[in-house]
């Protein structure tokens, strides 16, 4: 067959209606038939026109694509297709045979046709063949029949398309469905060029953008792929998909796709969250975006930008969606909710009709009254669960404030110019945390329980995380224990965050360097290992480097630990650690089980009460380039080792000029200032029981 001209394909696309709507294409539990029917109703109301049926975990869509539907399954699909027609929604049935099909086997092709013929008998007029997320290697039989994987896919797609009578809507999903998958580039991809040249012009091609989950989709990127595919693509948009990380939910607006894209596309379908009800925002804002493009707008702009009459503002679209969603929250989905109160068909569930409602006495607890959910609550909810590549404004502010409070915690209990600012910002942070708790409470009492149940795991998790951060800040300010103790042999179950998966991730050296909050330094690869004799010179180097940076060496009074660091006394071999990064040794944590040795060495008397309660002397230091987390982890490991050796407590001496170590000991939460006689001026003694 001769290759279709690019102008022919593009002209055909210009005469088609713009495809807009939802693709149920995620991995996980498919939506129910009732939810899909409700979706059709909403799509009609909001001006969308398409639903693509492609749930990855529907066995007969993907894994067992050869199997025909049973009579019961057929009845459900017939009802669903009829419901879509009733609401004016185009129902596209997708099948995904790429896991194990042999393209060159006529029986396989016949089986595929038979399956689609069955669905056509159900009343379906639009179809899609998907070859996404499969191995690109052909079997030996296909290698003999086709010159490339693209040729095999195009051949069977064209044949099925013709067999079905060249339906008005027929979608093809390539294996290389985003720019990141193209080798070496989109414009140089042999696979895409074959698809563009050989695929019949009436077939539309699905495309996710620069990546599987594209942060932004530019006009230039669409123009590039359109020239290769010889047609305008249909965007399969994963911006709200969460099937790759079920600890995340996306309730932010459809954004970073300028409305200038619309005339350059054949359509846009959003593949949203696995949970049905939270997709209200994703679908609603997509509808607003499509409508803005249809009205001739030019930009995707945020509120506050100096643009004349912006046609689509993500923030305005979000507010509109949340306002409408609030009405859904307030409606009840419980059985019998829509029955009139005076209905004779329903009897009240009461055992004693004469019993009056309970009224508490003046000295009794008042009845619990649920506060109604507000638009501010839903705005906060959206901010906390925003989009894959960004947090919402409130979430960003909370992270920034927590980071500032943590990094400036040394002034929290002091009396400096920054103390008042720290306490004020800590109070504001506490207020933001309280707002999350109150949002959780009001969501939990919302009448529509179906929405709540889809959200519940997520809002429980964020409430717990915020609670831990809240307690931590209070601990830094001296209003309670810190939330994370380095030594605790009997923790509560909820401290094991993330289960086994969480433990695996925390053990990996790169864990933490993919946070959306990028203000703190990116996590480096650190190694904590036992101290060995070869480390002696490196420890001395760090000790002298940090010491000389604070005050000239000659004017500093000696500390008890100086003799340990100068090598005059050796640390306990079981209680000595060093910290390494890619450059080399960058920190140490050493312990001397019997602090009397150090006192005798520097000829300084130490209170008997101190040595009785804190018999072990420790010394720790890190270079300025080391972040707090590995330093605290090293000290925590040292304390565990000292406790295992039988010591009942440890103490350390820190110069007031060493703000980094003072901050680290304070942040650990277990160290407290202790009184010691004969302390040098500007030196603080801190101890902790084990």
Among the residues of 244-313, which ranges form H helices?
A: 280-294
Cis peptide, bond prior to residue 234, ω within 30 of zero: no
**What length is written for the chain?**
690
Surface-to-core class of residue 538, CB atoms within 10 Å of its CB (0-12 exposed, 13-18 middle, 19+ buried)? middle
> Could you give phi then psi for residue 186, rounded to 5 degrees?
-60, -50
Q: Cβ distance 253 to 224 under 8 Å?
A: no
How many CB atoms are located within 10 Å of the residue 502 CB? 13
Category of 210 on φ-ψ map: left (φ > 0), alpha (ψ -120 to 50) or beta: alpha
Tell me 241's DSSP state. -
Q: Give the separation between CA 73 and CA 59, rounded to whole angstroms.
A: 12
Which residues carry out catalysis?
Answer: 133
Q: Cβ distance 311 to 63 under 8 Å?
A: no
SS3 686: strand
Q: Cβ distance 269 to 50 under 8 Å?
A: yes
Q: Give the separation between CA 235 and CA 232, rounded to whole angstroms.
A: 9
Please give the helix or strand (H or E) that residue 530 lies within, else none.
Answer: strand 527-530
Rg (CA), the chain: 33
Q: Cβ distance 227 to 193 under 8 Å?
A: no
How many CB atoms are located within 10 Å of the residue 438 CB? 15
Closest C-alpha to 450, from 325, 285, 271: 325
């Amino acid at each position: 067959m001769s290759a279709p001209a690019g102008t022919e394909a593009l002209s055909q696309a210009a005469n088609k209606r713009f495809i807009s709507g939802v693709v149920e294409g995620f991995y996980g539990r498919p939506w129910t038939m009732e939810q899909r029917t409700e979706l059709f109703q909403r799509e009609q109301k909001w001006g969308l026109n398409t639903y693509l049926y492609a749930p990855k975990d529907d066995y007969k869509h993907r894994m067992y694509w050869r199997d025909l539907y049973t009579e019961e399954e057929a009845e459900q699909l017939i009802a669903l297709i009829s419901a879509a027609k009733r609401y004016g929604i185009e129902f596209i049935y997708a099948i995904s045979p790429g896991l194990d099909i042999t393209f060159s086997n006529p029986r396989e092709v016949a089986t595929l046709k038979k399956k689609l013929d069955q669905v056509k008998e159900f009343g379906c007029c639009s179809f899609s063949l998907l070859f996404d997320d499969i191995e690109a290697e052909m079997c030996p039989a296909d290698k003999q029949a086709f010159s490339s994987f693209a040729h095999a896919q195009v051949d069977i797609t064209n044949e099925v398309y013709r067999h079905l009578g060249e339906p008005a809507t027929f979608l093809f999903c390539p294996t290389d469905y985003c720019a990141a998958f193209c080798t070496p580039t989109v414009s140089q991809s042999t696979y895409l060029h074959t698809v563009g040249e050989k695929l019949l012009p009436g077939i539309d091609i699905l495309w996710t953008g620069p990546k599987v989950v594209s942060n932004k989709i530019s006009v230039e990127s669409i123009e590039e792929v359109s020239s290769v595919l010889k047609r305008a693509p249909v965007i399969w948009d994963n911006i709200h998909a969460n099937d790759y990380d079920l600890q995340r939910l996306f309730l932010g607006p459809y954004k970073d796709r300028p409305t200038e894209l619309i005339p350059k596309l054949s359509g846009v379908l959003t593949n949203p969250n696995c949970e049905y009800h939270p997709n209200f925002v994703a679908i609603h804002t997509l509808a607003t975006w499509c409508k803005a493009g249809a009205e001739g707008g030019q930009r995707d702009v945020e509120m506050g930008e100096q643009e004349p009459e912006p046609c689509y503002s993500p923030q305005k679209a979000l507010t509109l969606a949340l306002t409408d969603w609030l009405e859904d929250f307030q409606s009840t989905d419980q059985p019998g909710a829509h029955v009139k109160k005076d209905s004779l068909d329903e009897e009240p569930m009461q055992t004693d009709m004469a019993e009056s409602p309970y009224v508490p006495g003046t000295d009794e607890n008042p009845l619990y009254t649920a506060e109604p959910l507000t638009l501010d609550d839903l705005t906060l909810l959206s901010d906390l669960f925003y989009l894959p590549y960004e947090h919402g404004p409130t979430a960003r502010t909370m992270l920034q404030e927590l980071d500032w409070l943590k990094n400036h915690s040394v002034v929290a209990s002091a009396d400096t110019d920054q103390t008042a600012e720290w306490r004020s910002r800590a109070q504001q942070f506490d207020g933001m945390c309280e707002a999350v708790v109150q949002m959780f409470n009001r969501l939990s009492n919302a009448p529509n329980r179906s929405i709540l149940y889809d959200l519940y795991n997520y809002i429980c998790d964020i409430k717990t995380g915020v609670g831990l951060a809240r307690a931590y800040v209070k601990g830094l300010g001296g209003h309670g224990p810190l939330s994370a103790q380095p030594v605790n042999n009997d923790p509560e179950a909820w401290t094991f965050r993330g289960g086994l998966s969480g433990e695996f991730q925390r053990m990996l050296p790169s864990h933490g360097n993919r946070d959306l909050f990028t203000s703190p330094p990116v996590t480096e690869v650190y190694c904590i290992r036992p101290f060995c004799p070869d480390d002696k010179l490196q420890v001395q180097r760090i000790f002298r480097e940090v010491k000389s940076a604070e005050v000239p060496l000659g004017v500093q009074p000696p500390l008890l630990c100086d003799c340990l660091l100068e090598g005059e006394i050796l640390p306990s071999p079981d209680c000595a650690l060093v910290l390494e990064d890619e450059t080399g040794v960058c920190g140490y944590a050493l312990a001397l089980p019997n602090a009397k040795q150090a006192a005798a060495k520097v000829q300084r008397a130490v209170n008997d009460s101190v040595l009785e309660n804190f018999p072990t002397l420790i010394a720790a230091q890190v270079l300025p380039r080391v972040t707090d987390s590995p330093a605290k982890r090293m000290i925590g490991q040292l304390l565990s080792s000292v406790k295992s050796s039988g010591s009942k407590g440890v103490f350390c001496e820190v110069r007031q000029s060493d703000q980094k170590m003072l901050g680290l000991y304070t942040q650990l939460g277990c160290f407290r200032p202790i009184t010691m006689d004969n302390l040098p001026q500007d030196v603080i003694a801190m101890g902790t029981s084990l």
